[in-house]
Amino acid sequence: MDKQHQKKYWKNNLKYLAILLSIWFLVSYVFGIILVDELNTIRIGGFKLGFWFAQQGSIYVFVVLIFVYIKLMNKLDDKYNLEK
């Protein structure tokens, strides 16, 4: 793999990281902590939404984030013919 491709691959990886980590920050720190009181005025069934994000929702999103990352990276590896 030449330098040019390597750079492009890495840039792409960093872009994925930036997007996924922003979502990671949003669901836990923003929804679960910073905006918890505002979200608690909204209810889903017996849950106040802010409380639900802090004790349930953020964890589900974390799991999904990692599997999305796995998918994206496997595709990227294929595109650059890595790890055969």
Partner 1 sequence: MDIQTWTWVLVGITFTLYIGIAIWTRASSTGEFYVAGKGVHPIANGLATAADWMSAASFISMAGLISFSGYDGSVYLMGWTGGYVLLALLLAPYLRKFGKFTVPDFIGDRYYSNVARVVAVVCALIVSFTYVAGQMRGVGLVFSRFLEVDINTGVIIGMFIVLFYAVLGGMKGITYTQVAQYCVLIFAFMVPAIFISIQMTGNPVPQLGFGSSSDGVYLLDKLDGLHRELGFHEYTSGTKSKIDVFFITAALMVGTAGLPHVIVRFFTVKKVSDARKSAGWALLFIAILYTTAPAIAVFARTNMIETVSNKKYTELPDWFSNWETTGLISFDDKNNDGLVQYVADDSVNELTIDKDIMVLANPEIAHLPNWVIALVAAGGLAAALSTAAGLLLVISSSVSHDIIKKIVNPKISDKGELVAARLSAVVAVIIAGWFGINPPDFVAATVALAFGLAAASFFPAIVLGIFHKRMNKEGAIAGMVVGMFFMLYYMMRFKFDWFGGGTKADWWFGVSPEGFGTFAMLINFVVSLIIASFTPKPPKEVQEIVDNIRIPSGAGEAQMH
Q: Is 47 exposed, middle or buried (0-12, 13-18, 19+ CB in 10 A)?
A: middle
The residues, ordered by sequence, that sit 6+ positions from 76 with a Cβ below 8 Å of its Cβ are: 9, 12, 13, 16
Q: Give least dist CB 77 to partner 1, A.
A: 6
Q: Give least dist CB 32 to partner 1, A.
A: 6
Residues lying near partner 1 in the complex (CB under 8 A): 1, 6, 9-10, 13, 17, 20-21, 24, 28-29, 32-34, 36-37, 40, 44-48, 51-52, 54-56, 58-60, 62-63, 65-67, 69-70, 73-74, 77, 82-84
The residues, ordered by sequence, that sit 6+ positions from 23 with a Cβ below 8 Å of its Cβ are: 61, 65
Q: Give least dist CB 65 to partner 1, A.
A: 6
